Amino acid sequence: MKVIISCSGKFHAFALAEQMERFGMLETLFTSYSSIKNPLAQYLVSRRDKEKISKSLVATNLVVAFGLKLYNNPFFWNDLFDRWVSYKIRKSDATVFIGWSSMNLRSIQAAKKKGMLTIVERGSSHIQFQNEILAEEYRRFGIDFHIDKRTIEKELKEYNNADYISLPSGFVQKTFRDKGFYEQKLLLNNYGTSSTFSKVEPYKIIDKFVILYVGTSNIRKGLIYLYEALEALNIPSENYEMRFVGKIDSELTNQVAKYRKNNWEFIGQVNHYDLPKYISECSVAIHPSLEEGLSMVIPQIMSCGVPVIASTNSGGEDLIIENKSGFIVPVRNAKAIAQKIELLYQNRDTVIEMKDYLSTNPLDLSWDAYGERYLDNIKKALK
- pTM, two decimals, is 0.93
Across the chain, mean pLDDT equals: 93
Tell whether the model's pLDDT for residue 70 goes beyond 70: yes
Percent of the chain with pLDDT over 90: 84
The answer as to whether 199 is a domain residue is no
Clarify whether residues 104 and 33 are in a common domain: yes
Clarify whether residues 154 and 24 are in a common domain: yes
The answer as to whether 204 is a domain residue is no
DSSP result, 278-299: HHHT-SEEEE--SS-S--THHH
Helix (H) / strand (E) containing 378: helix 367-382
The reported pLDDT for the residue numbered 40 is 75
Tell me if 365 sits within 8 A of 302, measured CB to CB. yes
Clarify whether residues 53 and 177 are in a common domain: yes
The answer as to whether 86 is a domain residue is yes
Taking only the tens place, the pLDDT of each residue in 325-342 is 999 999 999 999 999 999
Taking only the tens place, the pLDDT of each residue in 347-371 is 999 999 999 999 886 678 899 999 9
| Amino acid code (one letter) for 95 | T
Clarify whether residues 10 and 143 are in a common domain: yes
The reported pLDDT for the residue numbered 35 is 87
Tell whether the model's pLDDT for residue 36 goes beyond 90: no
DSSP result, 37-91: T-GGGGGG-SS---S---GGGEEE-HHHHHHHHH-S-HHHHHHHHHHHHHHHGGG
The answer as to whether 200 is a domain residue is no
CATH for 137: 3.40.50.2000
Clarify whether residues 284 and 310 are in a common domain: yes
Average pLDDT in the 174-188 region? Answer: 96
Clarify whether residues 48 and 151 are in a common domain: yes
User: 22 by DSSP, 3-state: which?
Assistant: helix
The answer as to whether 197 is a domain residue is no
Clarify whether residues 163 and 259 are in a common domain: no
Average pLDDT in the 311-330 region? Answer: 96
Clarify whether residues 153 and 7 are in a common domain: yes
Query: 15: pLDDT confidence band, cut at 50, 70 and 90?
Result: very high
| Rounded Cα gap, residues 329 and 337, in angstroms | 7
| Rounded Cα gap, residues 181 and 327, in angstroms | 29
Tell whether the model's pLDDT for residue 237 goes beyond 60: yes
Clarify whether residues 377 and 351 are in a common domain: no
Clarify whether residues 62 and 172 are in a common domain: yes
Clarify whether residues 350 and 373 are in a common domain: no
The answer as to whether 10 is a domain residue is yes
Domain span at 113: 3-192+366-382
**What is the total count of domains within the chain?**
2
Clarify whether residues 153 and 253 are in a common domain: no
The answer as to whether 89 is a domain residue is yes
Query: 181: pLDDT confidence band, cut at 50, 70 and 90?
Result: very high
Mutual angle of helices 334-346 and 223-232, in 10-degree steps: 50
The reported pLDDT for the residue numbered 48 is 67
Query: 383: pLDDT confidence band, cut at 50, 70 and 90?
Result: confident
- Can you list the alpha helix ranges (DSSP code H) found in 179-270? 223-232, 253-259
The answer as to whether 160 is a domain residue is yes
The reported pLDDT for the residue numbered 45 is 65
